[in-house]
Amino acid sequence: MTNLARWDPFRDILTLQDRLNRTLFEPYSRVASPEAVSGWFPLVDIHDDADRVILRAEVPGIAQEDIEVQVESGTLTIRGEKKQEKETDTDGTHRVERFYGSFSRSFVLPATVDAERVSATCKNGVLELMIPKAEAAKPRKIKVQAA
């Protein structure tokens, strides 16, 4: 007898998105755990300018105290938990599409940043991390003098 598996297009889309993120954002992006591909994880934008790297993660519905940011051995890790709201009468529930539970995302930091000075703020469901670049890595102008 052949076992049939139900096709889940969303799982395939998340897997594809993870592969694209790994390809496009290396060395920054690395999913920390296999659960992130099959479960949920916050979507992230990473911007790099002359003075800093800015990472913004969508964390709607997550309390500030349920988010942890850690830097260790050149890797920045964001962990948290989106707690399910108090359940109502389940007999009247027609559909549950929102994700709940724990997540973890890790990003390899470039050697040019100052990992000791990372700062984090959370406003309107967006976690923003400011990762300043080390002074030695910042571009500087050198004045050319006459000989």
Residue 1 has pLDDT above 70, yes or no: no
Q: How confident is the model at residue 36 (pLDDT cuts 50, 70, 90)?
A: very low
- Which range marks the domain in which residue 79 is found? 30-83+101-137
CA–CA gap between residue 129 and residue 139 (Å, rounded): 22
- Tell me, yes or no, whether 67 lies in a domain: yes
In a domain, 126, yes or no: yes
Structural domain count of the chain: 1
Is residue 122 in some structural domain?
yes
Q: Is residue 6 part of a domain?
A: no
- 31: pLDDT strictly greater than 60: no
Q: Element (H or E) spanning 19, and its range? A: helix 9-24
Is 41 a member of any domain?
yes
Average pLDDT over residues 4-27: 70
- Higher pLDDT: 44 or 88? It is 44
In a domain, 142, yes or no: no
Which residue, among 43, 83, 45, has the nearest Cα to 64 in the 3D structure?
Answer: 83
- Residue given tokens 């790994």 in the structure block: 22
Does 5 map to a domain?
no
At 90-110, the pLDDT tens digits run 666 667 677 778 888 999 988
Instruction: Please provide the average confidence, as pLDDT, over all residues in the chain.
Output: 79
CATH number at residue 38: 2.60.40.790
